[in-house]
Amino acid sequence: MSDTFGVGIHVTETDLQFVVRVPSDIDSGWTDPEEFQRLVERVVWERLDQETVLREISASTPTGETVSLGTVTLEPGGTVVDESLRAPSTET
């Protein structure tokens, strides 16, 4: 069984926060919430250029907004089943 986590970056007045949206019916194999959050974050930054993404979000996103980066589907053992990640677009 795998779970799909939504990921994004939330903009506050002082910083950018990495956000993991957890499904309400998460697999019981995930025993440590911090573990899967770290794993999701690692998968995201392995596939997207962290510095470029954060710079773009910081420059173009109003305070209080959250920019979606897509989803990551993982098995409790850490295997990436699927991902649909994308850097934010600079096009208007």
- So what's the pLDDT on residue 40? 94
- So what's the pLDDT on residue 92? 40
- So what's the pLDDT on residue 34? 85
pTM score, two decimals? Answer: 0.88
- Residue 28, classed as helix, strand or coil, is coil
The model's pLDDT over 13-55, given as tens digits with 9 standing for 90+, comes to 999 999 999 888 888 888 888 888 899 999 999 999 999 999 9
Q: Which of 81, 58, 87 is nearest to 5 (CA)?
A: 81
The model's pLDDT over 56-86, given as tens digits with 9 standing for 90+, comes to 999 999 999 999 999 999 998 889 999 999 9
Residues 6+ apart with CB under 8 A from 33: 22
